[in-house]
Every structure is written in C-alpha cells, then in structure tokens.
Amino acid sequence: MQKIAGNLTLIKDILRQNPKGMSITDIAEKVGMNKHKVGRYLDILHASGHIDLRTFGMAKVYTPSSRIPLSALLSYTTDLVMVVNEEFQILQANDPMIQLINLDRDQIIHHDLRYIALPDPSVLAFLNELANQIHTPDKINEIRLFSNPQRIFHIRIVPTTFEDGSGGNTVILEDITTEREAIEEIHRSREFFREMISNLSDGLMVASETEIFYVNNRLVEILGYSKEEIATLEPEDIAHPDEKKKVREMVERMLRTPSSLHEIQYWAYKKNGDPVFLNARMSAVPYGDSLRFYVLVSDMSERRKKEEQEYLQTEIIKRAVEQMPRPIYCYRMDGEIFLINQAFCQLFGILDEQAAIGKNIHEVIAPHNLSSFTNRDKDLISQERYITNILEIEQPDGTLIRYSVEKSPITIKNAKCTYIFGVIMTDSPITDNPQT
C-alpha cells in the first residue's frame, strides 16, 4: 500500500515539473515503469481529481490539476454544504449548515448523519430526510424544514471522490424560502382574484383586438348570450337603434386615448329581446405592441326604472303644486326654503320663484310678517301632527289680512331633518275677531 502511495506521489511530482503536460510514454520513461502500470496509476489520480486529462486526436496528455481546497470554497458560499462519506459520516460542513443543525462543530464532524442527537425534532427529521435522499435513486428537487418559520431548500447531491479513492456525496442546499413563498403568494392571489371575479355582481370581459381572453358568468346572465356568442359581438351590436351612434363614438374615443377609463349608459337588448339598461366602463390598455381591452358591465335596469318613477312622481308633484291656486310652501326647520308655488310668490310679492328656493325664509318674507308666518312651528314639531294656525299679513297700506294656514311636519329619517309643509287658505280670508 505504501508503495502504491509512493508511486502516486512520484507521478504527481513529475507532472508538477512539467505543467504543460506529458503522455503516458513520457511519464513511464521518467518513473521507470511500463505503460500499463502507469496507466492504472493515472486513472486513479484522474478519478480522484489530482490530475487533468486532455486529448489531442489519439494522444492523451496529463497535466497537474488546478484545484482549490473544498474547505476554502465552503467559506465563500451562502448555500448550506455538507460532505459525507459512504458510511454517512459528516466529513465537512460549512457555517450555514452548522447554524442550521445548531450544534458545535465537534459534535457534528465525523458523526453519522443519521444518528446525531438533536433537541429540535424538526431538524432531526430534516437530517433523516437528507440521508434518505442520498441513499435513494429517486431524488427530489425540494426539501422542507418544518420549523417555525418553515424553510424551503433546493437540494443537489453530487457524488464525490476523495484523495484516497473512496467515495461519498456532497449535499448542497440552496435556501429558496423567500422565492417559494412569493410564488405561493402569487398563486394564492391569483386564486383569490379568480374567485372574486367569478362572483362579481358586474359582468367582466377581457379581450385583445383579435381574441377574447375571459368572460365571467355574470356577463352571460346580464346579456343572455353564451360566452362563445359574446366573443363574436361588438358593443353596438346589442345597443338600441337610437343608442348605436353613441356607443360607437365612445368606442372610438377609447381607441384614441388608451389607458383612459370611459363610461357610458345605454339601452340594449338581451338575446331574448328583453330591454336592459347597461352601464359599461371600458378601457384600452397598451400591452406590448397591441391593446388589451377591459370591459365592466352593470345591469342598471331596475335602478333606471326606479329613477324614472321617482322623476315622474317629482314632476307630477311639481306640476300639481304649480297649478294649485292656494299658496303652498315647504321649508326646513333651519329656515331653508325647499318648495314654493306661484300663488305663494304673488301673496308675498316674490318676483322669482326659482331664485327664492334654497334661500332662508327670513330673506324672502318681510320682517313684519315673519313672526306670524313661523308662529307655532316649534309646537308643530313637538306634536308631530298637523295644526291650523292664523296667518296675519300686513298690506302696504297698513291693513291686516288674516288667513287660515294648515301646517304639517315632514320628517325624513335617513336625512335626520324635519320640514314644515303649509297651505294658506287665501280663498277664505278671516274677517271677524282676530282671536277666533
């Protein structure tokens, strides 16, 4: 054995003296051996990494190996590295690996990987899994340390030959926890947004200039068309004939101003012919060399019908008030006028009906008539029912005309305010004792 080691050392020394390389014949002449025996020694040195082999056609040239000690390399990497022999004894481990195991170096080196006594069961299970990966032919790419917090590593196991010709393995662990958590968070976010989009109360479509990428189920419900049919439709195709031009112009504006949000409301028809009032928000976003379109559609039919009913009711009340021959008024408790009709303006000499709305009652009623006009307002609010009051109006000549006034409180709970509504009976002035 010593003779073999001596011959190996001799061959390495000869190669160091000839760094440009030597053939088997040249080395055999130098050491005084036959080429067959030298060839066996060269195979051992090459397998153990002590020499390099280069071929030039049929010729083989051996040179000294330019090697860096493994211990030096271990100190320059942030990866966790551990070298074990065939008996699973740990020969070397760098600082990150020592920190993970959380034992002193002398408690680890030259100890069997499988039988290290560890207080942390998660690290013990982790080292056992490493040993299993070295032994099994079906290797995995990732391994997890189920500690708190959990850590994830990319694992590589490199077969290694040592200087004495024996074999082992180098285990390299790259910490990919942050990267893997980021990827998992992206997947969770995608699932969340996919679920959110699927359950939107609005219809959603994402498309390019040539392809429909996504249509959610709500858009199918709103329009009554299948996803395949929606992919063949243009926005103006379903619009009411009177609305087609407006929709077409909006689409053209969107194409002229990418990245801007455009909104339009229009009447359209479902597939079955039923009318539907749509609110569509559209945007064209640059995506590479093309545009990507995002369309959000809301069914506003019920709201539109309610608005039309409220508008109709308002118009009916407005016309009824305007045509009422008796003066009518309504103001808030703080005095702001909400409604008056033309008969009221004539009674108090108000020139502009619309200009008076929104002003305070003391700005449009003369001071000598104001106290009579607002008399018993506080009683009205406290009693929460209508009352009949006497209104005295002083004429320019100083005479008083008395009218009966019916007042009612109107309370709007959501607005948390109270209005006073009154009707002045000008068709029957009171001519007897003012106290009646």
CB atoms within 10 A of CB 127: 20
pLDDT of residue 95: 87
The C-alpha atoms of residue 314 and residue 306 are separated, in whole angstroms, by: 12
Output DSSP code: residue 396: T
Q: Which tokens belong to 227?
A: 């996803």
What would the two tokens of residue 274 be?
A: 């039923």
Taking the whole predicted model, whether its pTM rises above 0.75 is answered as no
- The CATH number linked to 405 is 3.30.450.20
By CB neighbour count within 10 A (0-12 exposed, 13-18 middle, 19+ buried), where does 413 fall? exposed
Residues 363 and 391 reside in one and the same domain: yes
Task: Look up residue 105 and give its DSSP letter.
Answer: G
Burial of 84 (0-12, 13-18, 19+ CB in 10 A): buried
Do 27 and 21 form a contact (C-beta atoms < 8 A)? no
In this structure, is residue 433 part of a structural domain? no
223 is a domain residue: yes
Last residue of a domain, one of 64, 93, 116: 64
Angstrom distance (rounded) from CA 249 to CA 264: 10
CATH number at 23 reads 1.10.10.10
Position 107 in a domain? yes
For 154, the 3-state DSSP assignment is: strand
Q: How far apart are CA 304 and CA 311, in angstroms?
A: 10
Name the nearest CA neighbour of 256 among 295, 283, 281, 229.
283
Q: Do 406 and 339 share a structural domain? A: yes
Asked if 64 and 52 touch (Cβ cutoff 8 Å), the reply is yes
Which residue ranges of the chain lie beneath pLDDT 70?
1-2, 48-49, 66-76, 163-165, 192-199, 413-416, 431-436
Q: pLDDT at position 193, please?
A: 67
Tokens linked to 158: 């490199």
| Residue 70 burial class via C-beta count within 10 angstroms: exposed 0-12, middle 13-18, buried 19 and up | middle
Contacts of residue 120, defined as CB under 8 A and 6 or more positions apart, other chains included, come to 102, 147
Q: Which of 332, 318, 289 is nearest to 419 (CA)?
A: 332
Torsion over CA: 204, 208, 209, 211 (sign): negative
Pair 284, 254: CB distance under 8 Å:
yes
Question: What pLDDT is attached to residue 22?
Answer: 87
State whether 170 and 78 are in the same domain.
yes
Identify the pLDDT of residue 153.
92
Residue 39, SS3? helix
d(CA 327, CA 325): 7
* Residue 310 lies inside a defined structural domain of this protein: no
pLDDT confidence of residue 436: 44
**Would you say 180 and 152 are in contact if contact means Cβ atoms under 8 Å apart?**
yes
| Count of structural domains within the chain | 4
Query: What are the tens digits of pLDDT across the range 59-112?
Result: 788 888 766 555 555 666 788 898 999 888 998 888 889 888 888 888 888 888
Last residue of a domain, one of 164, 179, 194: 179
Q: CA-based Rg of the chain, rounded to a whole angstrom?
A: 47
What are the φ/ψ torsions at residue 103 (nearest 5 degrees)? -135, 165
Note whether 115 and 168 are same-domain residues: yes
Q: Which residues make Cβ contacts (< 8 Å) with residue 175, sequence separation at least 6?
A: 78, 79, 80, 151, 152, 153
Residue 271, classed as helix, strand or coil, is coil
- Is 430 inside any structural domain? no
Looking at residue 349, what DSSP letter applies?
T
**Residue 185, in any domain of the structure:** no
Q: Is residue 314 part of a domain?
A: no
Q: CA-CA distance, 329 to 338, in Å (whole number)? A: 8
Is the domain of 75 the same as that of 172? yes
Angstrom distance (rounded) from CA 156 to CA 139? 9
Strands (E), 395-431: 400-412, 417-424
Please report the pLDDT score of residue 72 as a whole number. 55
Same domain, 55 and 75: no
Domain assignment present for residue 434? The answer is no
Residue 335 DSSP one-character state:
S
> What pLDDT is recorded for position 360?
93
Q: What are phi and psi of 380, to 5 degrees?
A: -60, -45
Q: Answer yes or no: do 174 and 77 share one domain.
A: yes
DSSP codes, 263-308: EEEEEEE-TTS-EEEEEEEEEEEEETTEEEEEEEEEE-HHHHHHHH
Same domain, 151 and 231: no
Same domain, 75 and 55: no
Residue 364 CB burial class (10 angstroms; 0-12, 13-18, ≥19): buried
**Spatial CB neighbours of 44, under 8 Å, sequence gap ≥ 6:** 8, 165
> Structural domain of residue 47, as residue ranges?
1-64
